[in-house]
Structure 1
Amino acid sequence: MQTRYPSLVTALRTHASDHPEDRAYVFLGERGEEASVLTYAELDRRASALARVMAAKAGPGERALLAFPPGLEFLVAFFACQYAGIVAVPTILPRQMRLRDSSISIVEDCAPRLGLTTAAAREAVSAAYAQVPAARSMEWLGVDAHATDDSGPPLAVKEPDPNAITLLQYTSGSTSAPKGVMVSHGNLCANVEMISQGGDLWRHATRVGWIPMYHDMGLIFNALQSAYVGAQCVLMSPQAFVAHPLSWPRAISTYRAEMAIAPNFAYDLCLEKYDAERMKGADLSCWELALNGAEPVRASTITRFAEVFAAHGLPRFSPRPTYGMAEATLQISVGKRGSPPRLWNVGRESLQKDRALAPAPGERSQDLVGCGRALTGEKLAIVAPDSHQRLPPGHVGEIWVHGPNVAHGYWRKADATREIFEARIVGEDGATWLRTGDLGCMDDTGELFITGRLKDILIIRGSNFYPQDLELTAEKSHPAIRRGHSAAFTLEGSQEQEQLVIACEVREDQVAGLDVADVVGAVRRAVVHEHELTTYKVLLTTSGAIPRTTSGKIRRKATRELWQKEQLPLVGQS
């Protein structure tokens, strides 16, 4: 695939030379003030200085763990890795300096030589990782203490090999333990080029984001794609967004951002906290692409967000679904800019039989949300997960991907790499495909519709049910239930395998005086009416109790395990 630049190294150095004083990144403080700014020249200079120090301590291909609080130091560290030929491994900063199990697994899996963080956090972070035997030989560097040192000789930066691994992006582990996706320089450039073309996003397309840099959507879609085209990227912390969701659209208005992306729950949160007075004076006419991805996209969220924020100038067709995953570097499909999102009304009974058909008379239906078509240079296929045969339009199967954005496999996991990255469609040429593990279908035009996750699907009385459909029904049944904060699962065990349990978070302002029986009854009635299913247990939890991945996906298995261990904080159950 032809890309504008052969690598991000070349892209950054070109922008630093051609328009050095242009802003590359802006980080906003808790009150929306500009806490720090990096121009392209400053980013190049600081990354070069840090890369010189790193290159003296680690060789090309060795790994560096990136564990940062919100801010711009992460980006200096990432580009320093690019310059030095060291593989970047983004990870979450330890909370209260306690490591998550996933963080321990990452260190044990990739054996990093270096650890990068801020000078202020270096001592505490290194102490936290010292608990892990595999991390004891790591050397931790405070980025801001080294990135400003220009006293040494300049680093000779070479054009990287397109096939060389530059990023280990560990999966969020919503259905399994985290695995390190090996992303090459070529993968990165191919995908940011695809994103640029698919969204028509070039140098003057500012974006505003709050998704953390250790997540592929925050890193690649926001930060790296902007650096590739020489645009401005405005960042804020996830904590600032969660505390004040409307600060995000207000920042979009202030900086005249053309694009912003977030998971579905973020748009729900903006709707939940919407206050016309707090949005007074905001002009969202600039926001041409409000991309929604990383978790199931709900038609009701897209419609409501467009309707509510139209009062502030949001273009009618700005809300747009997109689909992607770490194994494809990031983006896989997106709808055409300026066109309405595609909705496909299908019968529920046919969907349970893996067909997307118009509802029969009297049959209940639902809207599937289109996530666009294949990107430039990429191919998509719907394949029967067992027989590996290509399925025609309107049939539900596993989504397979072929293209230059597909990563090289999983780090040190040869068997999993063969199974997931080297699949072949029966009866076709020898091309290898990525198995996404997601279920979906395509219509006659090639539009992709996601129906669920293969490992998440619930089989009850011999029929397939998608947990997100049951969760949405429960959330709509009563105003006390939070939108986008439910988990549906079945119980394990031969006698209880098909018994449905739905856990729902209760809104904080509804906990006092909550009529548990009323809420539980509403959920049960709605599930019977919409899906003809009996709910064995309805669990009402406190706000924030249901676990999520770093990308915001509901961890249903983890929710079930917490409940079975009596560790799920409950407001009530029945």
Structure 2
Amino acid sequence: MQRVLPLKGLRPPGIVTDMETFSSLVTLLAHRAQSQPDDRAYLFLSDRGTEEAALTFRELQDAAQALAARLTRMAKPGDRAILVFPPGLEFLVAFFGCLIAGVIAVPMMVPRRQSARDSSAGIMANCEPVVALTSPAFAIRSDLRARFASERLQWLSVELTQIGDGAADLPPPAPEAIAFLQFTSGSTSDPKGVAVSHANLLANLEMIRISLGNTRQSTYVNWVPLYHDMGLILNALQALYVGALCVLMAPNAFMQRPLNWLRAIHHYRAEVGCSPNFGFDLCVSRYRADQMEGIDLSSWKVALNGAEPVHAETIRRFSETFAGHGFNPNATFPAYGMAEATLLIAGGRRGADHVTRAVSRSGLQAHAVRAPVDESDIQTLVGCGRALTGERIAIVDPDDCVRLPSGQVGEIWVDGPNVARFYWRNTEASKTNLNAQIAGEGDGASWLRTGDLGFLDEAGELFITGRIKDLVIVRGINHYPQDIEHTVQALHPALRENCGAVFSVTDDEGEEILVVVQEIERTERNRIDPVEMTGLIREGVAEQHELFARHIVLIRQGNLPKTTSGKIQRSFTRRLWLEGRLDAMTAEAD
């Protein structure tokens, strides 16, 4: 088996590990198939929580090799293949089949039948795939084929048990070879294809293992979709990396019955369960004591909260709600990451609990970190951990690119072996965002510019304050949209949590004015008076933030644009509002 040392220097003295060192995910899978052939690698649960499909490590490798043999007759190494799958284990066979064949995988969300808001056209134009891999049921969907129409595109149906002319006999890919293109979420811009290499993946998987403290016993239960980097890397690939079981469930099944996620954690005695912040809120809102009777969450050691802003109130409510079911608050694990860094950038340590810090709201408006002047000035931030082993985080002035000291808010920059070095066919963005230089340091290091704002405290804990492009600047004062959105959603039960967007636009006189777009709960939309609700929102925003919300738009549940990970697409919402394409419940009251 070919072995190299892509992770050299990543394991500091004192860390004991039985992990092998691999040149690629292909050699990693081969090792698991040889050393744990009959261990179950992946399980997929039905919407009701019963086991619907399973793959051992050996079965996964055999199916992936057979698929790779078929792929080599349709594509050559370096060609791209889009992966368009409903929830299930077929995605994993397709992903590893691509890796073995040297074909660059491009995971994609399945477009909704009537939606015009997905990014599939832009992704297709950028990566120009020659093969589309999908499940047998999806292979016959005419609307899917029409959405991905291309003269070059060949369709290949993937099953868990592949039938072919034997396994592919191909050399394993080099560490620098591109494993897949992870298209960015597009929360503030058009999606870009991050070229993630095998070396990037292996480096980040080792960083994740150290931070989360994972072992072969660290069973995962995951509902986050596999086309998203949290679902694929943090869950499915990390489980494979340490040789643990990963139990998968469909995202829609979680959204409809979130407590089934917790039941599965109990049933499989899982140690790791990850979710964006809204997922923990959803579990609390759907909590019913009778439905949780007998559920023991004491096995849950890492409740990772990431992919969107982490709220202290969410952590408190979740811990209090499920303490009676054995949930240990010390399992709470806020984290920070993004596709350009493969996935994880900052995290804590297993069992260390989370860190909060009360800072001045008015201070943040001036990009300064200082103590609140009174209770009304308190802004509570949740720490997202520290730089991972082998990685550096810097806070940099986004305009002059000078490193800032602790206690000042600036752009978060990252350097490490997990950082990808180019976007697919986007030289300018690659140079600007993935290979930036800190002014005056001259060490030749290439840094990732995250576009996120935050600060490091004296202990190196990272706190996120917002996105540069999402900042609302009115009369020269900075306002973080998520703070205003939180204020709005706390005003009335009809205002859906995590389902609002705040942004500014320029009026005819050149002044910046505030716009609030907010979803209304489906059960409440016929009970509320839109004019009264608009007044309530305007009053609340003025009282808490000293801002006048000129435009307030109430929309139906499910109509707010979001990324695949649940991030609010404020820029896209702004564009829809400017173009008059937001589906408002009623005529806007100014």
User: Into which bin does the TM-score normalised by the smaller protein fall?
Assistant: over 0.9
User: Equivalent residue for 2:565?
Assistant: 551
What is residue 563 of structure 1 aligned with on the other side? Answer: 577
More off after superposition, 443-452 vs 240-249 = 240-249
Match of 2:100 in 1: 83
Matched, 1:490 2:507: no
Deviations 1:169-228 (A, max 9, x none): 011211111110000000010111111111001211011111111111111111111111
Gaps of 5+ in 1: none
Aligned to 2:461: 447
Work out the CA distance in 2 between the residues paired with 1:314 and 1:101.
37
Q: Say if 2:490 is the partner of 1:476.
A: yes
Query: Which residue identity lines up with residue 134 of structure 2 in the other structure?
Result: T
Greater mean alpha carbon deviation, residues 355-364 or residues 181-190: 355-364
Aligned to 2:38: 21
Of the candidates 276, 282, 288, which is equivalent to residue 295 of structure 2?
A: 282
1:322 maps to a residue whose letter is A
> Is 1:394 matched with 2:407?
yes
Deviates more, 1:6-15 or 1:433-442: 6-15
2:310 pairs with 1:297: yes
TM-aligned CA deviation for residue 281 of structure 1: 1.4
Deviations, residues 333-374 of structure 1 (Å, cap 9, x unaligned): 012221231111111111101011111246611011100000
- 2:21 pairs with 1:5: yes
Question: Residue 58 of structure 1: which of 68, 75, 78 is its match?
Answer: 75
- 1:183 corresponds in structure 2 to 196
The answer as to 2:159 corresponding to 1:144 is yes
Report the Cα distance in structure 2 between the residues aligned to 1:497 and 1:71, rounded to whole angstroms: 50
Q: In structure 2, the residue corresponding to 1:144 is in which secondary structure?
A: coil
CA contact (8 A) 2:559 2:583 kept: yes
Match of 1:162 in 2: 175
Instruction: Name which of 129, 132, 138 aligns with 1:112.
Output: 129
SS of 1:277 mapped into structure 2: helix
Contact 1:203 1:231 in 2 (8 A): yes
Q: Shift in Å at residue 532 of structure 1? A: 1.3
Deviation at 1:275, TM superposition (A): 1.3
Query: Is the partner of 2:119 in helix, strand or coil?
Result: helix
Aligned pair partner of 1:466 in 475, 480, 491: 480
Name the SS of the counterpart of 1:510 in structure 2: coil
Bigger Cα displacement from structure 2, 179-188 vs 95-104: 95-104
Cα RMSD between the aligned structures? 1.8
What's the CA shift string for 1:55-91, capped at 9, x where partnerless?
A: 2221111111100111100000001111111110001
SS of 2:273's partner is: strand
Pick one of 44, 49, 54 that aligns with 2:66. 49
Which amino acid in the other structure matches residue 453 of structure 1?
R
Distance 1:548 1:556 in 2: 8
Matched, 1:424 2:440: no
Quickly say closer, same or farther: Cα 1:336–1:28, change in 2 above 3 A: same
Asked whether the equivalents of residues 364 and 530 of structure 1 are also in contact (C-alpha less than 8 Å), the reply is no
In the other structure, the counterpart of 1:128 is 144
User: Matched residues in 1 for 2:366 and 2:33: separation?
Assistant: 55
CA deviation profile, 1:258-284 (whole Å, cap 9, x unmatched): 111111111111122111111111111
Cα distance, 1:100 vs structure 2:
5.4
Q: Give the CA deviation at 1:243.
A: 1.2
CA distance in 2, matches of 1:523, 1:97: 32
User: Structure 1's 364 and 160: CA in aligned 2 closer, same or farther, altered over 3 A?
Assistant: same
Tell me by how many angstroms 1:297 deviates: 0.9
- Tell me how far 1:567 sits from its aligned partner: 3.3
State whether residues 27 and 34 of structure 1, in contact with CA within 8 Å, keep that contact through their aligned partners in structure 2. Answer: yes
CA distance in 1 between counterparts of 2:454 and 2:557 reads 31
**SS in structure 2 at match of 1:438:** strand
* 8 Å contact from structure 1 (residues 346, 357) kept in 2: yes
Q: CA deviation at 1:5?
A: 3.0
- Code of the residue aligned with 1:139 in structure 2: it is Q
Percent identity between the two aligned chains: 49
C-alpha distance in 2 between matches for 1:97 and 1:233: 33
Shift of 1:290: 0.9
Moved more, 30-39 or 563-572: 563-572
CA contact (8 A) 1:256 1:287 kept: yes
2:269 aligns to what SS in structure 1? Answer: coil
SS at match of 2:163: coil
1:475 and 1:481 in contact (8 A); partners too: yes
Q: After alignment, is 2-11 or 392-401 more displaced?
A: 2-11
Pairing of 1:291-330 with structure 2 (within 5 A): 291-330=304-343
Q: Is 1:248 aligned to residue 261 of structure 2?
A: yes
Q: What is the alpha-carbon distance in structure 2 between the residues aligned to residue 382 and residue 374 of structure 1? A: 12
**Pair 453,343 (structure 1): closer, same or farther in 2 beyond 3 Å:** same
* Per-residue deviation, 1:153: 4.0
Q: 1:408 offset after TM fit, Å?
A: 2.2
Secondary structure of the residue aligned to 1:459 is strand
Which residues of 2 match residues 217-256 of structure 1 at below 5 A? 217-256=230-269
Instruction: Report the AA paired with residue 414 of structure 2.
Output: V
SS at 1:571's partner residue?
Answer: coil
SS at match of 1:508: coil
Kindly indicate whether residue 289 of structure 2 is the aligned counterpart of residue 273 of structure 1: no
For residue 501 of structure 1, report the CA deviation from its aligned partner: 1.5
- Pick from 391, 397, 400 the counterpart of residue 384 of structure 1: 397
User: 1:338 matched to which residue of 2?
Assistant: 351
- Contact conserved, 2:421 with 2:435, CA < 8 A, in 1? no
- Tell me, which stretches of 5 or more residues in structure 2 are unaligned? 1-6, 11-19
Shift of 1:149: 1.6
Alignment of 1:516-531 (within 5 A): 516-531=530-545
Residue in structure 2 matched with residue 199 of structure 1 by the alignment: 212
In the TM superposition, residue 494 of structure 1 has moved relative to its aligned partner by 4.6
> Which moves more between the two structures, 1-10 or 331-340?
1-10
Q: By how many angstroms is 1:512 displaced?
A: 2.7
Deviation at 1:132, TM superposition (A): 5.4
Contact 1:291 1:322 in 2 (8 A): yes
- Whether the aligned pair in 2 keeps the contact of 1:129 and 1:136 (CA below 8 Å) is no
Q: Alpha-carbon deviations, 1:367-403, whole Å to 9, x = none? A: 1110000001000000000111000001000000000
- Give yes or no for contact 2:359–2:378 (8 Å, CA) kept in 1: yes
State the alpha-carbon separation in 1 of the partners of residues 84 and 242 from structure 2. Answer: 26
In the alignment, is residue 264 of structure 1 matched against residue 277 of structure 2? yes
Report the 3-state secondary structure (helix = DSSP H, G, I; strand = E; otherwise coil) of the residue aligned with 1:82. helix
In the alignment, the residues of structure 2 paired with residue 21 and residue 249 of structure 1 have an alpha-carbon distance, to the nearest angstrom, of 27
Supply the AA of the counterpart residue of 1:138: L
**Which letter maps to 1:386?**
D
Query: 1:493, CA displacement in angstroms?
Result: 3.9
Task: Give distance in 2, aligned partners of 1:195 and 1:328.
Answer: 12
TM-score normalized with structure 2 length: 0.93
CA distance in 1: counterparts of 2:413 and 2:296, whole angstroms: 40
Q: Is the CA contact 1:396–1:439 (under 8 Å) kept in the aligned structure 2?
A: yes
170 and 253 in structure 1: CA distance in 2 versus 1, 3 angstrom threshold: same
Do the aligned partners of 2:189 and 2:571 also contact (CA within 8 Å) in 1? no
**TM-score of the aligned structures, taking structure 1 as reference length:** 0.96
* Distance verdict in 2 for CA 1:256–1:46, change over 3 Å: same
For 1:557, give the aligned amino acid: S
